[in-house]
Amino acid sequence: MNVEHVKCLIIGSGPAGYTAAIYTSRANLHPVVYEGLAPGGQLTMTTDVENFPGYPDGVSGTAMMESIRNQALRFGADIRSGLIVQVDLSKRPFIATTDGGHTLEAETLIVATGATAKYLGLASEAAYMGQGVSACATCDGFFYRKQDVVVVGGGDTACEDALYLAGLCRKVYMVVRRNVLRASKAMQKRVLETPNIEVLWEHQTKEVLGDDNGVNGVLLTNAKGEERTVAVTGLFVAIGHHPNTELFKNWLTLDEQGYIVTEGKSTATGVEGVFACGDVQDPVYRQAVTAAGSGCMAGIDAERFLLAKS
């Protein structure tokens, strides 16, 4: 079997993975990056990014990821398309196998596989993705200033999104499938006391309506099966995220939601030499800039780890 030996293997290619690649390539670790199913990560699903420092006029998510990727390439990162489908973290060097059957052994591993927003699964939702449909209010809310929008979901994220959007938009309809909110009591109270948020209890989203200009309404059904259309320009889906940790569940400590647990102010996991950064270990902030920041930390942690071992 032909096994490739690497000092640093990075799995994932969002802002965390690419930033880790910049730092580890500059530290001469010659990182190999496997980009995974969605090169560039969640940011390539959004439109403009206006809250990443350094882009005063905003930047498209795709263009920004391309820039960070190019920056990593400039320092010699070996960025490959393809998936890691299996890992063995029982001892160092760690073993990873790609979907093409290639085997690598890695002295350090940086996990940056991100999280995936859950969507409703409607064809019309997919059709208007980035044209009115979003799973990130903090990223895209600004584009809906003074407009009417829908937020789907009844958890803390949905409440947080609804409150954030209520500060920007004229009206926020919160579409909740049960007659209770799952969110914490404090969040519920804030939502219910906000005058421009209307909770539509026991409603489900049946279809996203729109035309060439994007979304112009959402068709809802209530518990009795009655239909109702709300005229809105945006639909924010906030029904949860799932961290992409399937590959690591037998090896790394995960929290009750499935996120990788890291130690203190570091990216160290419970396995020496394995580091985790970005949304895969962050259920709280989930921003491009925080993901990039933790990618930097993982790069530095991996470099220092190898230095201490040498």
> Catalytic site residues?
136, 139-140
Q: Is 80 left (phi over 0), alpha (psi -120 to 50) or beta?
A: beta
Contacting range for ligand NDP; rule: CB under 6 A; set: 46-54, 56-64, 139-147, 151-159: 151-159
Best CA proximity match to 7, nearest among 97, 92, 133, 114:
92
55 vs 119 by CB, closer to ligand NDP? 119
CA–CA gap between residue 80 and residue 78 (Å, rounded): 6
Contacting range for ligand NDP; rule: CB under 6 A; set: 39-47, 135-143, 152-160, 271-279: 152-160
> Smallest distance, Å, CB 158 to ligand NDP?
6
Interface residue with ligand NDP among 283, 290, 293, 300 (CB under 6 A) is: 283
CA–CA gap between residue 309 and residue 52 (Å, rounded): 36
Query: Cα torsion for 172, 174, 180, 184, to the nearest 10°?
Result: -60
Token pair of 22 as six digits: 């910049």
CA–CA gap between residue 226 and residue 218 (Å, rounded): 14
Q: Evaluate whether 34 touches 56 at the Cβ level (below 8 Å).
A: no
Residue 153 as a binder of ligand NDP (CB under 6 A): the answer is yes
The SS3 of residue 32 is: strand
> Smallest distance, Å, CB 120 to ligand NDP?
5
Best CA proximity match to 211, nearest among 236, 231, 228, 226:
231
Interface residue with ligand NDP among 157, 233, 269, 294 (CB under 6 A) is: 157
Binding pattern to ligand NDP, positions 163-182, x when CB under 6 A? --------------xx---x
Binding pattern to ligand NDP, positions 106-145, x when CB under 6 A? --------------x-------------------------
Interface residue with ligand NDP among 35, 107, 148, 160 (CB under 6 A) is: 160
Angstrom CA distances, 295 to 34, 98, 184, 272, 300, stand at 15, 22, 31, 17, 9
Binding pattern to ligand NDP, positions 225-254, x when CB under 6 A? --------------xx--------------
DSSP-assigned letters across all residues of 94-160: EEEEETTS-EEEEEEEEE---EEE-----HHHHHTBTTTEES-HHHHGGGGTTSEEEEE--SHHHHH
Closest residue to ligand NDP, judged by C-beta, is 155
Residue 92 as a binder of ligand NDP (CB under 6 A): the answer is no
176 vs 277 by CB, closer to ligand NDP? 176
Residue 9 as a binder of ligand NDP (CB under 6 A): the answer is no
CA–CA gap between residue 271 and residue 125 (Å, rounded): 40
Interface residue with ligand NDP among 50, 88, 105, 156 (CB under 6 A) is: 156
**How many residues lie near ligand NDP (CB under 6 A)?**
16
Interface residue with ligand NDP among 154, 234, 273, 278 (CB under 6 A) is: 154
Handedness of CA 253, 259, 264, 267 (dihedral sign): positive
Binding site for ligand NDP (CB under 6 A): 120, 152-158, 160, 177-178, 182, 239-240, 257, 283
